[in-house]
Amino acid sequence: RVLVTGSLGQLGSGLVKELRSMYGNENVVASDIRNAPEDFKANGPFVFADVMDYAQLEGIVVDYKIDWIVHYSALLSAVAEKNPALALSVNMTGFQNVLELAKVHGLRLYSPSTIGAFGPSTPKIDTPDVTIMRPNTIYGITKLHNELLGEYYREKYNVDFRSARYPGILSADTPPGGGTTDYAVDIFHHAVRHGHYDCFLKKDTRLPMMYLSDCIKGTVDHLVHPEMLPQAVYNIAAVSFTPEELASEIRKYLPHFTISYPDPAHPDFRQAIADSWPASLDDSMARRDFGWKEEFGMEKMVKLMLDKIQAQVDAEKRIAM
C-alpha cells in the first residue's frame, strides 16, 4: 500500500490516479492538510494529515499497512521565500518525519527534490547529478538538506530513499502552487482567456521544464523499480525554454498573443530565484538506471496545454449560458 502526502497539489492528484489504476483504489491512500473535494474522496481512501505530526503519520502507516510513502507536501520556492519559517518546518520537519517513519517501519520513500537545490555557483548548462550545490533560496536549502539526510539514512540505515530533481512542471488541470516556474502555466491561461500575459520573469530566463504526465510516468517508473538504485537522487529533465521562446510557440496558434516583461529597474523577486537555477540538466543517469524518457517536447506540450485550456473555457461558457 502507498501513502501519498500533499495529494491535492499540482502533482499529487495525478500521481494518486495513476497509482490507483495500477494497484487498485483501496491500495493508494491520499492525504493532505486540506480537506478533499467529495468527488476525490469517492475514488478511494483520503485522510487528513499534517506532515509535522509524527504520531498522526505513524497512525496512518500502521492502520493502513503502508509499504511506500510518496512525499509531495512542500512549500514551493516563491511562497517559501515569503515565509521562510514555515518553509523550514513544512519542508524539513515534514521530510524528517516521513524519513524516520521509513526507517522505523521499513518503508520505501520517494520524495522529489528540485532544480532549486542547485545554486548560483552550480554550472548552469547540462548540470550533472553531482556538482557544486550551494543554493541561496530557503526552498533550495530545505531541499538540499532533504537530499543529504535521505542519502545519510540510505547509507546508515539502509532506507530505500528515492528522489528526482524535478524541473518546472506544466499542467492544465491542476494549478501549481507558488513556484517560480509557475509563469509557464499562467501564460497559457492568460493567452487563451485574455490574449495577453504580464510575465514576472525576464524574456531570456531559460529554465528546465516538463509536462505533468511525463513527470508522473517518470516518478512511477522510479518508484516501482524493484531494486535499490545506484543513486538516491537523480536529475530528470525534458526541455528548456525562455518566456520569449514559449510566447513565440504560443503565437503559432494564437497569432495576436502579446506578452510584457518587468521593467529592468524593478525586477520581480522571483527573478533572483530563477537566476540561481540551472538552464538545463544532464539526466543521463536517470535514463540509464530507471529508463527515464520524456514523451513531450515543447511543441507537443504547448499544443496540448492550449487545447486543454480552450476546452475548459468552452465548458465554462456552456455552463454560463
Helix, strand, coil proportions of the chain in percent (round to 5)?
45, 15, 35
- Asked if residues 180 and 274 have their Cβ atoms less than 8 Å apart, the reply is yes
Q: What does the buried/exposed string (b/e) look like for 117-152 if buried means 16 or more CB atoms within 10 Å of the residue's CB? A: bbbeebeeeebeeeeebebebbbbbbbbbbbebbbe
Residue 174 CB, nearest approach to ligand VAH (Å): 13
Grid coordinates representing 119? Answer: 545554486
117 Cβ contact list (under 8 Å, min separation 6): 133, 135, 140, 143, 144, 147, 165
Nearer Cβ to ligand VAH (66/218)? 218
Rounded CA separation 184/117 (Å): 20
Q: Which is nearer to ligand VAH, 7 or 113 (CB)?
A: 113
- Minimum Å gap between C-beta 66 and ligand VAH is 25
Question: Which of 72, 110, 139, 153 is labelled catalytic?
Answer: 139
- Minimum distance, C-beta of residue 76 to ligand VAH, in the bound complex (Å): 4
- φ/ψ of 320, rounded to 5, equals -70, -20
Task: Give catalytic status of residue 183 as yes or no.
Answer: no
Given the complex with ligand VAH, which of 94 and 179 has the nearer CB atom?
179
Helix (H), strand (E) at residue 184: helix 183-194
Task: Name the residue among 61, 67, 62 with its Cα closest to residue 31.
Answer: 61
Q: Given the complex with ligand VAH, which of 114 and 205 has the nearer CB atom? A: 114
Torsion angle, CA of 109/114/116/118, rounded to 10 degrees? 80
Closest residue to ligand VAH: CB criterion:
179
**77/97 with CB nearer ligand VAH:** 77
Minimum distance between the CB of residue 319 and ligand VAH, rounded to whole angstroms?
A: 31
> What are the distances in angstroms from CA 164 to CA 9, 17, 128, 239, 313?
17, 20, 13, 16, 34
Residue from 236, 231, 82, 74 nearest 142 by CA: 74
**Shortest CB 133 distance to ligand VAH, Å:** 14
Which lies closer to ligand VAH via its Cβ, residue 11 or residue 29?
Answer: 11
Q: How far does the chain reach from its first CA to its final CA, in angstroms?
A: 45
Q: Which residues bind ligand VAH (CB under 6 A)?
A: 76-77, 114-116, 139, 166-168, 179-181
Shortest CB 285 distance to ligand VAH, Å: 19
What are the catalytic residues? 139
